[in-house]
Structure 1
Amino acid sequence: MSKAHITFSAAEFNRSTEHASMGRDNLLGILETCLCPTALVGSLWVLAYWFEGSVPPAYLLLAVLAFALTFPGEPRLQASKSGSVLDICFNWVWIAALLGLTGYATGYIRQFDLQALTAWLWAAPATEIALTFGLRIAAPIIISLQGPKQRALIVGMNEQGLALAEKLKSSPYSRVELAGFVDSRNTDRLNASAPVPLLGKLDELATLAKCNRIQVIYLSLPMASQPRILQVLDELKDTTASIYFVPDMFVTDLIQGQPSAVCGMPVISVCETPFRGTNGIVKRLSDIVFSIGILTLIAPVLLAIAAAVKFTSPGPIIFKQRRYGLDGEEILVYKFRSMSVTEDGGVVTQATKNDSRITPLGAFLRKTSLDELPQFINVLQGRMSIVGPRPHAVAHNELYRKLIKGYMVRHKVKPGITGWAQVNGYRGETDTLDKMQGRIDYDLDYLRNWSLRLDIHIILRTVRLVAKDQQAY
């Protein structure tokens, strides 16, 4: 993907709020994963005993739901204190909102003592914050209980090797002590500012591992160096070091690249949707909750706009246009009609500024994005999502898929009412190939780095931008 158009990527947004995990085989990492669920469930049970005298079945069920929504917990030890507090409060707001709306919709909320639930709203995040800061204080002791640090070498002073070294050196909670690099290239071709020294060449690796009491070796060699890798592995059979590959993922442009297995055979995805498993459930639940809430609030506005469209110009109230949805399947997208024509054929002319086909009411609807409101019904139907790549007319898809590399990858997810491209200046007319390329760059950036936090960030930015944005016609 060309990143020339992207000034602030979704990865950078996520990095500002997410932090590296300690690892699930590390005692500190295990405690991190259990901290948030423990705080929520523990505070709920304490309050149940306080107000009810016991833990009734309703509270047990709520505890199970809270645990399922929060396990494994987010790693926050390497975040700033203020960042941790904000992250905990943010996560608790959407979890509490989801549980509250579910309880209200099912009527199950009546099974609880109102005072207990009200107290839980502040006790849960307060408990999690206290446990997080307590774990920070106890971290050095916990690390020392696991014995001395493991000495490590990185084979290959290349881009991914240097990145790994920086992470290991900058982490105050790492149990790995990095001894240095091994690389056979001339020193003038290597990075002089590396955080640890170059200890020797590749043919000395086994000897260096023994002399330096190395327990862990990270192989950061290019994937094209298969014979060299096999030779290194053969030489290391004479050591007791644990060996890990640092994949050379820079050889291709990964979309949600992650390890998996097929019939026991390890594989790494190159192009995959971010909405598999738990992520898919979270995405769909958030779409349902948000769309029901929004449709309930805007029902009078929908009726008023429908009447205005009907009585101000001839034609249907709702304009249905064929678009590509998930996996490139055609769907019907609903909009309030804003033009005197309803084009949906093999050739669709994009709306432009001062377009004569746009009705006076339609100009207002398009400028304020009110014409998009019926698409919340598409969201409830499961055809669209609130946040995702904007759907283009089928005719435009057939044109641009031939001109822009990776164009159809955006259809690995459901199209959205708003998207990462739209809040970064690519809303409205894309009258040049360069503008469409910019929109696709942001769409693919969204696919690589999706998070629920990013979705909410996009929704809030859309609300702020929609009233003053002059680019949509």
Structure 2
Amino acid sequence: MRHVHVPAPRVARSEPVSGAAPRGLGDKARWYLPAALSSDLLGAGVPVALAFEASHQPRPIICAVGAAFAWAGVQTLRRRYSARALGESRGALPVLHDWLILLGVLAVARAATGESSHPLVSLAALLPALLVTLVCHKLTYRHLAAARREAQAVSRVLVIGEPDAAESVIAHLAGRTDHPYVVVGALPVGPGRTTSGVPVPARLAHEMPAAPAGDADTVLAAVRGLRADLVLVAPGARLAGERLRRVAWALHDAGLELAVFPGLVEISVKRLETLSAGGLAVLRVAPPVRRGVQPVLKSVLDRAGAGLGLLVLAPVFLALVTAIRLGSPGPAFYRQRRIGRDGVPFVMWKFRTMVVDADQRKAELAGANENDGHMFKMRRDPRITRVGRFLRRTSLDELPQLINVLTGRMSLVGPRPPLPEEVAEYDEVELRRLTVRPGMTGLWQISGRSDLSWDETIQLDLQYVDNWSFTSDVDLVARTFRAVVDGRGAY
């Protein structure tokens, strides 16, 4: 039986090394807002003024001021300057979306005022606004991420729910670091053991109290005592309907936030839609994207990207083939049978990074496997050649998989293609990762690669399978370049 990695419930993220209490969202650095606002105003205004002046366009100063305030206005309407949004990672696509809105706003303004500047000059002058804003977001995000490692500028959460449900939510939040929430306390509903170690200042009664303010007083006292920013409810049979409604009223009347955990995990917010049915709040979950325009765009991106990559990288291929052949005896390419979409096997291409008899020597190294699942991984595998170690560190050994992408067996983005012996041990959940084409890169590539446990790898693959979209693929390709440069988990 293989070892299953289960993150232990912990509250480490709620207590920094110094031992001080976690500081709430209101403690974000005060320079975030002036930095964001000034970078948007100057990033849009200065390039327009300089470009218009250099190309002798009419009214450069007026156009520069208009562009600057239009860009800041778009960001304001999109709530990019709110305390909750400042410093948070949104990726490049939301910024690009905002920038395209800016182009539309300025196009309308141009038509309304009869402004006669050259369209291409205007477009080129507005490009720096996009780049400057992206750089500013990246800098503030890095600063905020460092602060949150010290439990600063986090959202202090009070969890309410039946003991088992509350413990599940606490364990899930404690086992992940890709969110700003720190659980500072819990209010269990009814009797039951709690093992997470978070403070339990009180308990809510097993049944709804006769006094309307019974639950409300308990919750508000806990919020004030723990200085919570958010109350997260894990609803159940004992906390639903009218009882939950009264708690919500009390919190909202006090100016506090309430969030309800619907019991769903790893579902992208893009697939969620709130509906109302006869006064009931209903959460609709859209099915994963399997048909339509987006899969066609993905296929076009795969084939075009692979074809262009093979053409442009031909000199690199030649240099690597020469280095591999000179570094150790044997062929430059390594072909291996892998399992693709719907369990169909295919031959995957890679540059050879090991000695030629590596497969025969795998059995004798089984006891040194450092992965806790079906995969075999060793940080210092003696079968890897000197050139092969460099190729793995830089991920250059993966480049021949562009051939598999070009032939349609793989995609640029997708789950890692597994070996047949790995698939033979898959359970029903793990088999779901085979419902899409495997990829050269994916969530596992940008999240630690070989440093991930088996369960973390499966979790990321299923998250991709269920929440895939064309724009997420584009974002993952962009983030892969950083992961390759960083090299973390590549061995």
TM-score range normalised by the length of the shorter chain? 0.3 to 0.5
TM-score where L is the length of structure 2: 0.44
